[in-house]
Structure 1
Amino acid sequence: CFSRNRVLSLMLLDLYMAGNRAVGGATIQSSTSADWFAEKAIDGNRGLQQLHTGCSSTLNETNPWWRLDLRDVYRVSEVVITNRKDCCAEQINGAEIHIGNSLENNGTNNPICAVIPDIPAGESNNYLCDGLEGRYMIIHIPGDWKILTLCEVEVYGYLAENVALWGKTSQSSTYAGSEPEFALDGLLNSWTHTNEQTNPWWRVDLLKVYRVNRVTITNRPSSYSRINGAVIRIGNFLDIYSNTICGVISTLGAGATATFSCGGMVGRYMVVQIPGNLKILTHNSVDSSC
Structure 2
Amino acid sequence: YLHHCYLHLIILCIFLSFKYQGENVARRGQVAQSSMYGNAKPENAIDGNRASNYYQESCAHTNNDLNPWWRLDLLKTYKINTVTITNRQDCCPERINGAEIRIGNSLNDNGNVNLVCAVISSIAAGASQTFACNGMEGRYINIVIPGRREYLTLCEVEVDAAQKASEETNVARRGQVAQSSMYGNAKPENAIDGNRASNFNQGSCACTNNNLNPWWRLDLLKTHKINTVTITNRQDCCPERINGAEIRIGNSLNDNGNANPRCAVISSIAAGASQTFACNGMEGRYINIVIPGRTEYLTLCEVENRIPDTL
- Bin the TM-score by the shorter chain: 0.5 to 0.7
Q: What fraction of aligned residue pairs are identical, expressed as a percent?
A: 44
Deviation of the 1:73 alpha carbon:
1.2
Indicate how the Cα distance of structure 1 residues 161 and 117 shifts in structure 2: closer, same or farther if over 3 A, else same: same
Q: Does 1:75 align with 2:96?
A: no
Deviations 1:258-284 (A, max 9, x none): 59xxxxxxxxxxxxxxxxxxxxxx999
SS in 1 for 2:149: coil
Aligned to 1:175: none
User: Which whole-Å CA distance do the structure 2 matches of 1:32 and 1:103 have between them?
Assistant: 20
User: Which whole-Å CA distance do the structure 2 matches of 1:63 and 1:127 have between them?
Assistant: 21
Aligned to 1:128: 132
Deviation of the 1:160 alpha carbon:
2.4
Higher helix share: 2
Indicate how the Cα distance of structure 1 residues 191 and 49 shifts in structure 2: closer, same or farther if over 3 A, else same: closer
Indicate how the Cα distance of structure 1 residues 163 and 97 shifts in structure 2: closer, same or farther if over 3 A, else same: closer
Deviation of the 1:287 alpha carbon:
3.1
Indicate how the Cα distance of structure 1 residues 70 and 221 shifts in structure 2: closer, same or farther if over 3 A, else same: same
Deviations 1:91-144 (A, max 9, x none): 000001011111110100111111101101111111111111111111000123
Aligned to 2:275: none
User: Which whole-Å CA distance do the structure 1 matches of 2:149 and 2:118 have between them?
Assistant: 22
Q: Name the amino acid aligned to 2:63.
A: L
SS in 2 for 1:31: coil
Q: Does 1:287 align with 2:291?
A: no
User: Which whole-Å CA distance do the structure 2 matches of 1:141 and 1:72 have between them?
Assistant: 25
Deviations 1:127-179 (A, max 9, x none): 111111111111000123211000000011112254799xxxxxxxxxxxxxx
Q: Does 1:29 align with 2:33?
A: yes
Deviation of the 1:50 alpha carbon:
6.1
Aligned to 2:106: 102
Contact 1:17 1:158 in 2 (8 A): no
Aligned to 2:90: 86
User: Which whole-Å CA distance do the structure 2 matches of 1:39 and 1:78 have between them?
Assistant: 19
Q: Name the amino acid aligned to 1:65.
A: W
Matches within 5 A, 1:186-201: 190-191=222-223
User: Which whole-Å CA distance do the structure 2 matches of 1:94 and 1:32 have between them?
Assistant: 20
User: Which whole-Å CA distance do the structure 1 matches of 2:119 and 2:102 have between them?
Assistant: 9
User: Which whole-Å CA distance do the structure 2 matches of 1:163 and 1:120 have between them?
Assistant: 37
Matches within 5 A, 1:161-240: 162=166, 190-191=222-223
SS in 2 for 1:41: helix
SS in 2 for 1:40: helix
Aligned to 1:44: 48
Deviation of the 1:70 alpha carbon:
0.9
Deviation of the 1:80 alpha carbon:
0.2
Deviations 1:21-64 (A, max 9, x none): 10121111101111111110111111235644110110111000
Aligned to 1:156: 160
User: Which whole-Å CA distance do the structure 1 matches of 2:148 and 2:52 have between them?
Assistant: 27
Higher RCO structure (Cα 8 Å, ≥6 apart): 1
User: Which whole-Å CA distance do the structure 1 matches of 2:159 and 2:53 have between them?
Assistant: 22
Deviation of the 1:17 alpha carbon:
9.6
Q: What RMSD in Å do the two structures reach over aligned CA positions? A: 3.5
Q: Name the amino acid aligned to 1:287.
A: P
Q: Name the amino acid aligned to 1:103.
A: L
SS in 2 for 1:23: helix
Gaps of 5+ in 1: 1-15, 166-186, 193-215, 223-252, 260-281
Contact 2:76 2:168 in 1 (8 A): no
Aligned to 2:173: none
Gaps of 5+ in 2: 1-19, 170-218, 229-248, 252-260, 264-277, 286-305
SS in 2 for 1:54: coil
Contact 1:36 1:52 in 2 (8 A): no
Matched residue count: 180
User: Which whole-Å CA distance do the structure 2 matches of 1:136 and 1:45 have between them?
Assistant: 21
User: Which whole-Å CA distance do the structure 1 matches of 2:280 and 2:97 have between them?
Assistant: 36
User: Which whole-Å CA distance do the structure 1 matches of 2:62 and 2:223 have between them?
Assistant: 47
Contact 1:51 1:151 in 2 (8 A): no
Contact 2:103 2:142 in 1 (8 A): yes
Indicate how the Cα distance of structure 1 residues 112 and 254 shifts in structure 2: closer, same or farther if over 3 A, else same: same
Aligned to 2:67: 63
